[in-house]
Copies of this chain bind each other. A is one copy, B any other.
Amino acid sequence: MSVNALDDTKLRILEAAGRTFADRGFREATVRDICQAAGSNIASINYHFGDKERLYIESVKLAHREMLQNTPLPQWPAGVPAAAKLHGFIYTFLCRVLNRDDNWQRRLMLREIAQPSAACEELAREYIRPQFTVLLGILDELLPTETPDVVRHRTAFSIVGQCLHYLIAGPIVRWLVPPEEAALNVPEQLAAHIWRFSLAALSGIGVDAAKLEVPQLPRIAQTAGAAS
């Protein structure tokens, strides 16, 4: 029970911190506000987490953990075709990313991905890599067996990149397309598109890739600004 109470306080602080960090970023968020939101004393952060930065790292880890728990990957029984599993992966990923509810976990992850901090390496190791491994396992069933690692990895990034784009550049997407079309960008529809796009792409990757001659590279004007 006292253990419970401890956990309660730490958890309350973590939740409040996650929400505040997601709203305002690391610097803009103050420990005073976090403690007030958590209903705890201003010294409790130092007591439970050491300092603000370690609190941040813990709240980022919690965010990812909760995202995975709230929207876990489906469990596929044996015999499910790889194409169906790929669709399930994409759809789950988009559900996490596009969740319309005000879930601070997603917003905090976005900040962390765009501006990686000390928490990011740990995050990649503990939470992202397992998901990546699952995707690679699905792709293995869809790609020729002799496909080299570098192609398998890039293919996985091609799929993940399409999904993440709606998280990263969400506001820009909404400004580039008409409102009535933006309203259609729900996980179901987007998953269908990305799945079709990627499935078609997969049939053209690895097999005839070598035959497809890359056009001559255009000359890229290296901007003068680079040195100014």
Contacts and interface: CB of A to CB of B under 8 A. Distances in A.
A179 interface: no
A50 to B, nearest CB: 14
B225 A103 contact: yes
A28 to B, nearest CB: 6
Interface residues of A, number: 98
Copies of this chain, count: 4
Contacts of A70: 221-226
A111 to B, nearest CB: 7
A1 interface: no
Contacts of A121: 171, 175
Given A204-B199, A214-B192, A215-B84, A101 B158 contact: no
A56 interface: no
Interface in A140-177: 149-151, 153-155, 157-158, 160-166, 168-169, 171-173, 175-177
Interface in A115-149: 115-116, 120-121, 124-125, 128-129, 132, 149
A78 interface: no
Contacts of A195: 214
Contacts of A124: 171-172, 175-176
A225 B66 contact: yes
B27 A190 contact: no
A217 B188 contact: yes
A165 B113 CA distance: 10
Contacts of A175: 121, 124-125
Interface in A207-222: 209, 212, 214-222
Given A111-B114, A200-B205, 5 more contacts: A15-B228, A71-B222, A87-B215, A99-B224, A103-B223
26 contacts: A66-B226, A69-B225, A71-B220, A71-B223, A83-B215, A95-B220, A95-B222, A101-B222, A101-B225, A103-B225, A103-B226, A105-B225, A113-B168, A113-B169, A113-B172, A114-B114, A124-B172, A132-B176, A155-B193, A155-B197, A158-B194, A161-B163, A196-B205, A199-B204, A200-B205, A203-B204
